[in-house]
Chains A and B, each alone.
Chain A
Amino acid sequence: MISTLSFVSVSDLVIGLSLGSRLFLIAVGLSLIFGVLGVLNFAHGALYMIGAYLALAFTTQVIDNFWIGVVAGAIGVGVIGVLIEVGTIRPLYDRVEADLDQLIVTFGFVLVIHEVVRFVWGSQPYSTPAPDALAFSVSVSGSTFSAYRLFVIVAALVVMAALWLFIRRTYFGALVRGTSSDREMASMLGVDVPRLYTGVFFLGSFLAGLGGALSAPLQSTSPALGEQVIIDAFIIVVIGGLGSMFGAFVGAMFVGLMQAIGPSFIAAGHIAIPFLAMVLVLLVRPEGLFGGLGE
């Protein structure tokens, strides 16, 4: 086993896991929103991108503190998500073809957000340095990588754990699970479903913004970012199961590792394999490899 994997260096592995962690932060919000609201949010990648830009703008123009910028970016994106949900998604819940109409409306926001970002910040890519506390390198068995990559992996694990506790152990989490499995019943039992939906949309958008802001030092932030990551996020949530948080984690790690170490052993197919996996999962197990939110 060791001999077959010897050409995969530790740094490749860390890069793959950090890419996966970054993708997890996008996909988990997408999955959460679909699991509860039944809305496939095409604009989720665009929200992720805004998170990166807002954090950037905040640290360069308000307070030069990376961590405050991350939080400000995530909250800002959460608020934008609420505006989108209340203004354009809520009016469509009762339609016959609600799913497809909502998908198309959120696709409209992909175009709108892309252009607004290009208008405000221009087309050129931005890069952000890692915060000072984490701006050092780590060496493990001969390969070197930045400490910030390790931090992003830890952050994804922390978010995963926090979400799990939140959904499984809090009162609000119980309402979310109940509404997810039976919206009418929850409504009859006195749950304010529209407000809960808005809350979940805020949380999902917040997570997208958090992912974008935290990943800013790992990537070049440009207007094309949103459209790149949304397709990866679709692959992930389909493989893991729309609505499943654990599934989003496994799917994200699969796609992240495929991007980082795929080229070194399947040169011909590493772009196609995630899509092939997506097709296979949809055909064989459309609910994904790991059940929904209620499980």
Chain B
Amino acid sequence: MSTHDDSVTSRIGEFTRDAVRNGWTRERCVVLLSLGLLLFGVVAPSFQIYLFTEFLIIALFALAFNLLYGYTGLLSFGHAMFLAGGSYGLAIFLQESEPYVSNVVGAGPAPLVSWVLGAVFAVSLVIAMAVPIGWLSVRLEEIYFALITLAFGMLVYSVIIQNPQGLTAGSDGINVLLGVTEIGGAEFRLGDRQIYYYLTLGIVGASTYGIWRIVNSPFGTICKSIRESPERAAALGVDVRFHRWMTFIVSAAFVGIAGVLIAGLSNVASPYHAHWSESATAVVATVIGGATYFAGPIIGAFVYLYARWGISRYPALEAHWEFFMGVLIILVVLYFKVGAAGGLYMLRTWLLDVQAAYRRGGANAAVGFVRESATNKLRRDSDASESDTGGVER
């Protein structure tokens, strides 16, 4: 027996200990955040729940996109095709097979069972798309990769618009209605905003954890090495093309999950979900949030949706909210490549320094530190020569 017990119960015990005792650990943050998110679904007004659900889905979309962009250095301008793959996979499955499912499991649980099977079918469909498309796309790099993914995305869009065999209903899209499920006398509607919020929260939470595990695994380390220098990675024995292909497929699969969720939220699988401007949503959210941070796309999606909501309170501005997004992207790329997540991280480091100064020498030392760092910052900005701003530290 090794002294390091790795069983599930001891891990949970360790986690709980970390969460309760050792100050502001990551574990405690996770627990408090989870409690807050669970509570949100009970106390928040209906519209806020809808908005937050949408945020969670866009966050997953951007997070999965960033697996390819931030971690492997490939900018895809066609990831919306997998969003549409997920949406249409679910919609077509529900449309074609709900009667059969109902025959097998009975009318009560049929809507829930169909949804689960439909989600599995949709993600399988997305993976089946991503395997050949990824294999072809990773032959190209940089701008050419962006162009070929754009082309594949618009190819999928035009196939959906053409309505092959009457399967995709052309530009109308397919309605996705999640009916009333009845199990053992208990009735609920999966499409109910509150229930759908918890469903989305669970799936997005699990997916986020999955992506986090992936980027922190040896697989993720290889991704980062490819981003930093494909040549050196290849020299170390990494099959760069194969690895990019695998990352492409994993990224697409998670986007497919987001696609399944967005079809249920908007009640429609629409061809718009495949359009390149939808792919741009993931790019915008990721760039604003900061592609080099794991949480960047999540924070970017938050800014994207809530900035829009904030602006919508001023009708004169609301119509032009994309203007602000455009300006924000330009400014972030030019001057602040670390994005909102990087900004928050720098703020946290700075606040900890202030706190340390306060502990050392009381309020005077803290004020002194603030003044000093501000003047340093101003001086650095004023003589910020054209030194290399490309290499962003993680």
CB-CB contacts of A98-127 with B at 8 A, as 1s and 0s? 111101110111111011101100000000
Q: What is the number of residues of chain A that contact chain B, defined by CB distance less than 8 Å?
A: 43
Interface residues of B in 141-194 (CB under 8 A from A): 142-144, 146-148, 150-152, 154-155, 158-159, 161-162, 164
Let me know if A96 and B136 touch, CB within 8 A. no
B158 CB contact (under 8 Å) in A92, A100, A272: A272
Let me know if A92 and B334 touch, CB within 8 A. yes
Does B283 have its Cβ within 8 Å of any Cβ on chain A? yes
| Stretch binding the partner chain, chosen from A21-29, A73-81, A157-165, A278-286 | A278-286
CB-CB contacts of B307-347 with A at 8 A, as 1s and 0s? 00000000000011011011111100110010000000000
Could you tell me the distance in whole angstroms from the C-beta of A40 to the nearest C-beta in chain B? 5
Let me know if B330 and A278 touch, CB within 8 A. no
Residues of B within 8 A of A104 (CB): 75, 283, 287, 329, 333
Q: Which residue of B lies closest to A96 (CB)?
A: B390
Does B293 have its Cβ within 8 Å of any Cβ on chain A? no
CB-CB contacts of A197-236 with B at 8 A, as 1s and 0s? 0000000000000000000000000000001000100110
A112-B326 CB under 8 A given contacts A92-B334, A119-B320, A283-B136: yes
Residues of A within 8 A of B386 (CB): 91, 94
Q: Which residue of B lies closest to A91 (CB)?
A: B334
A103-B151 CB under 8 A given contacts A88-B334, A111-B325, A271-B158: no
Let me know if B330 and A97 touch, CB within 8 A. no
Q: What is the number of residues of chain B that contact chain A, defined by CB distance less than 8 Å?
A: 44
A118-B320 CB under 8 A given contacts A105-B334, A231-B276: yes
CB-CB contacts of B371-391 with A at 8 A, as 1s and 0s? 000000000000000101111
Let me know if A283 and B161 touch, CB within 8 A. no
Could you tell me the distance in whole angstroms from the C-beta of A229 to the nearest C-beta in chain B? 13
Does A268 have its Cβ within 8 Å of any Cβ on chain B? yes
Q: Which residue of B lies closest to A89 (CB)?
A: B334
A100 CB contact (under 8 Å) in B146, B159, B328: B146
CB-CB contacts of A254-272 with B at 8 A, as 1s and 0s? 0000000000000011011
B148 CB contact (under 8 Å) in A95, A111, A279: A279
CA distance A104 to B322 in the complex (A): 15
Residues of A within 8 A of B136 (CB): 279, 283
CA distance A272 to B388 in the complex (A): 42
Residues of A within 8 A of B146 (CB): 40, 100, 103
Let me know if A111 and B159 touch, CB within 8 A. no
Q: List 6 A-B contacts (CB under 8 A).
A: A95-B388, A97-B390, A103-B75, A105-B330, A108-B327, A115-B320
Question: 3 nearest interchain CB pairs?
Answer: A111-B326, A115-B323, A95-B390
